[in-house]
């Protein structure tokens, strides 16, 4: 049995390694369409995954590798990952600088060629939003304009994407009592206004958003965010520039993956009793308590997100459940299909899922510790309780000195609670678009969330050296959910202290769930055979 399990683990590791390589190649094809910035973003994924793929690919092939060398490669990969992120930010700033140069050249061309006015400039000059266009000069200069100086290398003559009549109306939403723009920059399909915020962000945003709706209906959407220097910045984009709903084929795929996840949950229940459903199909009823209990926790997690999203009139996409042979499932990937109004809403929706699932998991864990095992009791070695500070401490509190026996038998609902806590904790890791990453972004902002993402990646890399679950979850999170959540409409107002406290509690429980006891501490607490 041990040989079969080892073969299955190696085959799974090799399969995931090959799948990761295929995904890297697919990502390169997509990145090329976005030019240099896209390739840099693709390189970030390659760099952070390269040591993982090297170590576990060789491990699956039976080749032993010095762990010290791999650890140094991990540390180097994180350093290169940070450097590439810095280069990406530099490229973004350079693009904004090029846009400003382009606008200055366009203004100069206007001054030098007043006889042929630029149709894009009518209704307001992007570079000087508070001033009227300059008067046309007269005389010989107008008859024989000077030639325009050549464009700098890499800069092309671009015009603002917003129609001039719309731009003039957009400028009208600002005022000295809300937001006073001092600089206007073309951005994607819209425009950025840099300036000074007057008054409270939430109240000022509501007034400006209402004026924008009254003036241009729902054609444009206003964002109030911070720039790279933590200064308030207003961005206006077309309403079509937002998340798109899932296609029917994507929804069908989500349903198929949900059915696969239901099977892996049942398979996890069977493995707990030492059999494989594929090989012992007649024993599948024995796997139902654990498999269906785990499925209920997964659904409760997603219902928590959905109920809060409905409350705030936010659309959520279909959840893409992630099947797992080891855990039954890693949870689900859920995407927002509408723009969030503010950071408090982001926190509430992100917190609701793990909050509901975590409470249910704790209840199941407690019931499993006090209920009689019954005919389908699960036997566990007591060193198992040393693997989690939270689970071990609760078990010690309820069962006392019984944890010093070699093995103990529990009701199956205990395993459901344990799996639910671990899955919830994995989703609360403060990384990218995981629930934990969204919670940190909501409370502390995008900069802190970006830094915690890097720390979380390092944590998963170190944990993956001894735990294949950390490897699989790390690969999935880095590939699919590494990026932070898109900005809310009003990003300046922080959630209140009550939300911040609940967020810290959730992160603390995550740490207590995932961190193990040290052998000496476990013996002092009476967990395991003395």
Asked if residue 85 lies in contact with residue 56, where contact means CB atoms within 8 angstroms, the answer is: no
Task: List CB contacts of 530: < 8 A, sequence separation 6 or more.
Answer: 404, 523
> Do 425 and 473 share a domain, yes or no?
yes
Total tally of structural domains belonging to the chain: 3
Gyration radius of the chain over CA positions:
28
Task: List CB contacts of 134: < 8 A, sequence separation 6 or more.
Answer: 110, 111
Query: Which CATH number characterizes residue 237's domain?
Result: 3.30.1360
> Do 200 and 286 share a domain, yes or no?
no
Q: What is the pLDDT of residues 343-389, one digit of tens each?
A: 999 999 999 999 999 999 999 999 999 998 888 888 888 888 888 88
The mean pLDDT of 439-464, rounded to a whole number, is 86
What is the model's pLDDT at position 101? 52
Domain that holds residue 60: 1-115
> Do 223 and 109 share a domain, yes or no?
no
> Do 205 and 293 share a domain, yes or no?
no
What is the model's pLDDT at position 301? 95
Query: What string of DSSP letters covers 168-203?
Result: HHHHTT-BTTTEEEEEEEEETTEEEEEEEE-S-HHH
Residue finishing a domain among 95, 115, 135? 115
Task: List CB contacts of 219: < 8 A, sequence separation 6 or more.
Answer: 166, 238, 239
Quote the CA–CA distance of 192 and 123 in Å, as a whole number: 17
Q: What is the pLDDT of residues 489-516, one digit of tens each?
A: 989 888 988 899 899 889 888 988 988 8
Quote the CA–CA distance of 454 and 472 in Å, as a whole number: 17
Helices (H), 33-128: 35-60, 67-112
Q: What is the percent of the chain with per-residue pLDDT over 90, rounded to a whole number?
A: 20
Residue finishing a domain among 89, 115, 141? 115
> Do 307 and 419 share a domain, yes or no?
yes
Most confident of 4-8, 80-84, 193-197, 276-280: 193-197
Q: What is the percent of the chain with per-residue pLDDT over 70, rounded to a whole number?
A: 74
Question: 284-302 b/e with 16+ CB inside 10 Å = b?
Answer: eebbebbbebbbbbbbbbb
Of residues 89 and 11, more confidence is placed in 89
Say which DSSP state 467 is in: -
Residue 293 has pLDDT above 90, yes or no: yes
| Tokens standing for residue 326 | 């080891």
The mean pLDDT of 519-523, rounded to a whole number, is 80
389-399 helix and 343-370 helix, angle to the nearest 10 degrees: 40
The mean pLDDT of 185-209, rounded to a whole number, is 85
In-domain check, residue 155 = no
The mean pLDDT of 224-247, rounded to a whole number, is 84
Sign (positive/negative) of CA torsion 187, 189, 194, 197? negative
Q: What is the pLDDT of residues 102-143, one digit of tens each?
A: 555 555 555 555 444 443 333 334 333 333 333 333 333 333
Task: List CB contacts of 130: < 8 A, sequence separation 6 or more.
Answer: 181, 182
> Do 312 and 460 share a domain, yes or no?
yes
In-domain check, residue 132 = no
């Amino acid at each position: 049995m041990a040989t079969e399990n080892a073969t299955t683990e190696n085959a799974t590791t090799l399969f995931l390694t090959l799948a990761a390589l295929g995904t890297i190649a697919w990502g390169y094809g997509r990145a090329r369409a976005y030019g240099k910035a896209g390739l840099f973003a693709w390189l970030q994924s390659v760099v952070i995954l390269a040591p993982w793929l090297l170590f576990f690919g060789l491990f699956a092939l039976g080749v032993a590798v010095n762990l010290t060398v791999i650890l140094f490669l991990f540390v180097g990969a994180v350093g290169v990952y940070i450097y590439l992120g810095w280069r990406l930010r530099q490229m973004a700033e350079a693009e904004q600088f090029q846009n400003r140069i382009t606008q200055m050249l366009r203004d100069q061309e206007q001054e030098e060629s007043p006889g042929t006015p630029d149709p894009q400039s009518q209704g307001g000059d992007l570079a000087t939003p508070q001033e009227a266009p300059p008067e046309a000069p007269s005389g010989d200069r107008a008859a024989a304009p000077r030639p325009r100086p050549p464009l700098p290398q890499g800069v092309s003559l671009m015009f603002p994407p917003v129609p001039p009549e719309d731009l003039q109306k957009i400028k009208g939403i600002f005022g000295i009592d809300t937001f006073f723009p001092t600089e206007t920059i073309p951005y994607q399909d819209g425009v950025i206004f840099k300036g000074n915020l007057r008054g409270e962000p939430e109240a000022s945003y509501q007034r400006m958003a209402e004026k924008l709706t009254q003036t241009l209906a729902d054609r444009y959407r206003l964002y109030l965010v911070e720039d790279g220097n933590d200064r308030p910045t207003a961005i206006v984009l077309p309403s079509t520039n937002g998340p798109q709903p899932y296609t029917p084929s994507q929804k069908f795929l989500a349903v198929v993956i949900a059915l696969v996840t239901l099977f892996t949950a049942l398979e996890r229940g069977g493995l707990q009793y030492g059999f494989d459903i594929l090989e012992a199909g007649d024993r599948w009823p024995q796997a139902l308590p654990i498999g269906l209990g785990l499925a209920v926790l997964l659904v409760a997690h997603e219902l928590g997100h959905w109920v809060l999203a409905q409350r705030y009139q936010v659309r959520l996409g279909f959840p893409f459940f992630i099947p797992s042979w080891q855990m039954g499932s890693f949870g689900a990937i859920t995407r927002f299909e509408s723009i969030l109004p503010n950071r408090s809403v982001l926190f509430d929706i992100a917190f609701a899922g793990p909050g509901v699932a975590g409470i249910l998991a704790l209840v199941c864990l407690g019931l499993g510790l006090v209920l009689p095992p019954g005919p389908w009791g699960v036997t566990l070695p007591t060193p198992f309780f040393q693997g989690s500070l939270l689970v071990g401490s609760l078990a010690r509190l309820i069962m006392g000195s019984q944890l010093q026996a070699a093995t103990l038998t529990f009701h199956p609902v205990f395993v459901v609670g344990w799996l639910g806590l671990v899955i919830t904790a994995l989703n609360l890791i403060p990384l990218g678009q995981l629930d934990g990453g969204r919670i940190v972004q909501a409370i502390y902002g995008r900069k802190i969330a970006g830094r915690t993402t890097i720390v979380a990646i390092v944590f998963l890399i170190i944990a993956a050296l001894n735990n294949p679950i950390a490897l699989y979850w790390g690969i999935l999170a880095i590939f699919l959910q590494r990026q932070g959540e898109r900005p809310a409409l009003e990003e300046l107002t922080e959630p209140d202290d009550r939300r911040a406290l609940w967020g810290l509690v959730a992160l603390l429980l995550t740490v207590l769930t995932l961190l193990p006891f040290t052998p000496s501490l476990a013996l002092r607490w009476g967990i395991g055979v003395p």
